[in-house]
Amino acid sequence: MKYTQFLAFASITLFFITCNQDGNQLNIIDSCSFPNKQITLSEEVEKHLIADSIYSETDKNLNELSPVWGRMEEMIQTTENSGKLKSENAWKVLSSEWEDFKNNHIGKDGIPMISDSLNEYETTLVARKWVELNVRLLKLSGEVRFGDTLEKILYNAKVPTLSENLLKSIIYTYIDDQIFINIFGSSSLIHHHTTGGIIKLIEETNYPASNEISLKCETNDARFLNVFIRIPTWAVNPTVTHGNVKYVPHPGEYCQISRMWKDGDEIRIVLKN
């Protein structure tokens, strides 16, 4: 009887796996960027990027010309301190300040609204500073809202703001054999597993025109990976499936897929149903 109950429980667990993330507390993720050469972006994604060479030395007068620049610099420093001190109170203050800044200074295209006194280059630098802040926050905390912000900038900004190097630093991040998929877009990643061997993850999608994403695996040998897929806060009845296995993703959380990945495996993600 107990054996039968165990099998029934295991079956339910196998086919309906809940993806959980507690966003109410400071949860230090501190994920790392992959080397640029291990990430390939499609032409469709690259058309939304700005050349890395556009950024030279920061204009030292920006602190005087744009008050929002100084506030973002302060938040970046607080982010660094939060990571070192792991202070819950400091994180709550930073989180509240970030929300206030976003509500009062960020336009519909996802980038800061600034005065007309800045030229185009200075405006680009201010927008990039907002990107850098959210990159640091996302890598530190693993919170979906920062990924949502970066993705909105990538695809909605009237003028390209993210560079190839900056996007590659965040589109996929990792901790050992935990891989975080933070930004959607046709691309591929080569991961060197800690036990040896290579796993290639291939993301195929027409996102953001389409809400469907396919994640395929290529490898010469089965390897265990924890893959965390960002489910945007705006997702509606999202689904994540692998064959007959149905995960239960929640908007505003990362969906965790812990499994032995084999060549030919495919995960199907639908963000709106």
Residue 6 lies in a domain: no
Bridge-based pairing of strands 239-242 and 266-270 is: antiparallel
Same domain, 62 and 105: yes
| Band (83; pLDDT cuts 50, 70, 90) | confident
When pLDDT is cut at 50, 70 and 90, the band that residue 70 belongs to is confident
What is the average pLDDT across 34-44? 98
Q: Which residue has the higher pLDDT, 248 or 147?
A: 147
Strand partners for 76: none
Predicted confidence (pLDDT) per residue in 143-186, tens digit: 999 999 999 999 998 888 999 999 999 999 999 999 999 999 99
Instruction: Choose one of 126, 146, 168: the last residue of a domain.
Output: 168
Burial of 38 (0-12, 13-18, 19+ CB in 10 A): middle
Is 93 among the domain residues? yes
Domain hosting 160: range is 45-168
Residues 131, 70 share a domain: yes
Q: Are residues 163 and 52 in the same domain?
A: yes
235-246: pLDDT as tens digits: 999 999 998 999
Give the pLDDT of residue 261.
Answer: 96
Q: Which of residues 41 and 243 earns the better pLDDT score?
A: 41
Beta bridge mates, 239: 270
